[in-house]
Amino acid sequence: MFIVKVPEDLIEGFPLFIGRRHRDLASLKTALRNKNVREIYDIGHKMKGTGSVYGFNEITIIGGLLEKYSDEENHEELTKTINHLEYAINNYTKEVVP
């Protein structure tokens, strides 16, 4: 379980943020099947930039790993990282912080 410390001024947008990560997950799975590492890289880059804004640091870490493993074309590690993303966005508790 991940604890997400969402800034108070972003709490209303948090459900949209999570919804986008679910869409990203579907896109990542398709890109992985198609061996489209460029798309995986682009999605990872976006996640790396937005995760910590919403207090979900694990998303930032996952985004960075997606970039790294895309550059390396390491499909085994990409699969593990995408599975970890799925776990993360389905197993978190949020706390509102000032």
What are the structure tokens assigned to 73, written together?
Answer: 């074309």
What are the structure tokens assigned to 67, written together?
Answer: 């970039």
C-alpha span between 1 and 59 (Å, rounded): 13
**Mean pLDDT calculated for residue range 55-71:** 98
| Residue 61 identity (one-letter amino acid) | I
pLDDT band at 78 (very low <50, low <70, confident <90, very high): very high
Domain 2-97 grouped into CATH 1.20.120.160: yes
Q: How many CB atoms lie within 10 A of CB 48?
A: 18
How does pLDDT run across 6-20, given as a tens digit for each residue? 999 999 999 999 999
**Mean pLDDT calculated for residue range 55-75:** 98
In the chain, domain spans? 2-97
C-alpha span between 55 and 33 (Å, rounded): 30
pTM (2 d.p.): 0.95
